[in-house]
Amino acid sequence: MMIYSRIETRYITSGTNTRLVRYDAIYVDDDTIVVKVFDDQQREISPPNSIIEVAALQFTREEYRSEHGIGGPQRSVQFRMPPSFESHVWDKCQEHRNSLTD
């Protein structure tokens, strides 16, 4: 059994809809973040609301490094720094939120 105490919650809207979807980032260790995505399925109906998990996303530092070309052979000079690992995770969550149909 594991207890995880490092958790961040963010509510994210899409570019086309202001409805909030909840994203809980669970820091499993320094190199792994699992994000649970929750949505209120009874929007605008009085409580108790039914909240369900609609996705579970996993991000690893290794995949992040690979995607941004970090740690591999230097091919060219970069004019911008890649985002931090945590920023990368939240950017991917925003992409996920934008992909949800409202």
Give Cα separations from 21 to 1, 29, 84, 98 (angstroms): 28, 25, 23, 10
pLDDT value at residue 45: 57
- Residue-wise pLDDT for 14-72, tens only, equals 988 888 999 999 999 999 999 999 997 665 555 666 788 999 999 999 999 999 888 77
Whether pTM exceeds 0.75: yes
- Quick one: which of 98, 101, 93 has its CA closest to 35? 93
Which whole number is the average pLDDT over 87-102? 93
Q: What is the pLDDT of residue 51?
A: 83
Structure-block tokens of residue 37 = 């995505």
Residue 3 has pLDDT above 80, yes or no: yes
